[in-house]
Amino acid sequence: MTFAVDAPTAAGIGAAAVAKTQAAHSPLIAVKDVVKIYPTVAGEAVLALDHVNLNIGEGEFVCLVGPSGCGKTTLLRLLAGLDTSDHGTSSLAGKALNGPSEEVGVVFQQANLLPWFTVMENVLLPLRVGGARKTEQLIGQIKALLKVAGLEGFENKYPYELSGGMQQRAAIVRALARDPKLLLMDEPFGALDALTRERMNAELQRIWMASGKTVVLITHSIDEAIFLGDRIIVMSPRPGRIVRELKVDLPRPRVATEMLGNETHTALAREIRMLLE
């Protein structure tokens, strides 16, 4: 497992920055001319995605924003190997995504922790399902992940003993446990209150900078997208198309209070709102 617990995130330098530099010319994810059509009970076809093209480099943090029903979750399902396109291709590290892969971790809006399992047991579950043996080294790696996620000392707690934010952090650790190349997140903080969500954004930034993983995040929050993303992909109403890719030229680590009144943040937020409207 390549998780760097002591990565120098305070200086804004981490495994993610190195990975992005090395992979600048060889995208980890390549989506080419993808079309997705859903049939309906009435027999009419619904065009969900219309010729979507997207490249994502290793170590990038990319945010997808767009109106409800624009195909964001459909695109995420294609990247997770949970669905197939009707036209075009999607690949991860040069290999076609034709089904679920151990190289991809997924975090949903709800943490979906099993209530009868402890935090440690929940995190280990995907590894057990995959046939991994519970070794001392494996437990040590998971404890390192939990420490970076701020859950050290909660290994033997049950989900009901955790706050909503802590449960989501446990879900993130569970997704990272198999050391995937790609982490997909579908509105993971949408059910949290505003203050907890802001704190979780800071936690996710810290975890991402330490791990160097590639992250694709769906969000309806423009501020969240600007705070977390290296790039923001703006999608059109259905049928989903990419209408703009925006680079977030803000130094890391980012601090929420310092974003207020920042000219770059203000300009990006205005442009995204105009595109969405």
Mean pLDDT across the chain, nearest whole number? 86
The answer to whether residue 145 sits within a structural domain is yes
The answer to whether residue 1 sits within a structural domain is no
Q: Say how many domains are in the chain.
A: 1
The answer to whether residue 200 sits within a structural domain is yes
**Total-model pTM:** 0.84
- At 133, the pLDDT band (50, 70, 90 cuts) reads low
The pLDDT score that the predictor gives to residue 255 is: 92
The one-letter code for the residue type at 22 is Q
Residue ranges making up the domain that contains 17: 9-276
The answer to whether residue 258 sits within a structural domain is yes
The answer to whether residue 148 sits within a structural domain is yes
Which CATH number characterizes residue 75's domain?
A: 3.40.50.300
The answer to whether residue 23 sits within a structural domain is yes
Which of these ranges, 152-156, 189-193, 235-239, 269-273, has the smallest mean pLDDT? 189-193
For residue 76, is it left (φ>0), alpha (ψ between -120 and 50) or beta?
alpha
- At 273, the pLDDT band (50, 70, 90 cuts) reads very high
The answer to whether residue 2 sits within a structural domain is no
The pLDDT score that the predictor gives to residue 9 is: 39
Which of these ranges, 1-15, 37-51, 99-113, 259-273, has the smallest mean pLDDT? 1-15
The answer to whether residue 66 sits within a structural domain is yes
DSSP secondary structure of 62-83: EEEE--TTSSHHHHHHHHHTSS
